[in-house]
Structure 1
Amino acid sequence: MTVAAAGLSFLGVAIIIINPASAQTEPPKPTSDQLEECKSLGIRPEKCSEQAILSKRCLGGPGAPCGGSGVNIPIDVNMNLIPIYLGIAGAFVAGVLYVKKASRWRRGKANVR
């Protein structure tokens, strides 16, 4: 049973970390408000994004409005892939349980002879 639990925990981490759909999409174009803010913060227009603005504000120095240190990485989970991963995990668990039951059945059958 520990193998199944380890497999499910690994699968859960893989769902959060690896998102093939987000790797294929382009970042959204900055809005006019974001472009103005990028200009005031000294960020080049081609590098302007929500993340660039937030990182410039939060890592700007001792007077920065963000209380935490470091960069927060947003987790982007594709909700359409969750049923597929759950199906794979369910098949894995069913396979492990079947092998365990089959091995017990064979051992019990061998003792009868």
Structure 2
Amino acid sequence: MPFSLLPPQLLAERPHLFSPVTLPVAQADLARMAAVVAAIGRVVALPAYQSRVLAEAPEIARFEPRGDGVFFGYDFHLSPTGPKLIEINTNAGGGLLAARQAGHRGAEEAFV
């Protein structure tokens, strides 16, 4: 959604939610980010990894989830040497806002 079409009240109350500019990301960087996300998925599925991590986890974390995570947010920063993963969020609250904004720009296919 163009910045100018965002609800004025939303912008007034939460000016940090959206940037007034679009930042294009190179296809090669998107591919690198997708590869990192896929690699993380493969690692966390390994029984040896799970055993090691859960050995030090609190009891509440020691359960078998019924499904894969639904809404992870992989936070990458772009750098001259490529994207760098800085954190993984399990409550990616900005995803819906970003998807809505991107949908109005025709950029859905750019999401990894």
Quickly name the TM-score band, shorter chain normalised.
under 0.3
- Greater share of strand residues, 1 or 2? 2
**Which one has a larger percent helix, Structure 1 or Structure 2?**
1
TM-score (norm 1): 0.25
* Bigger Cα Rg: 1
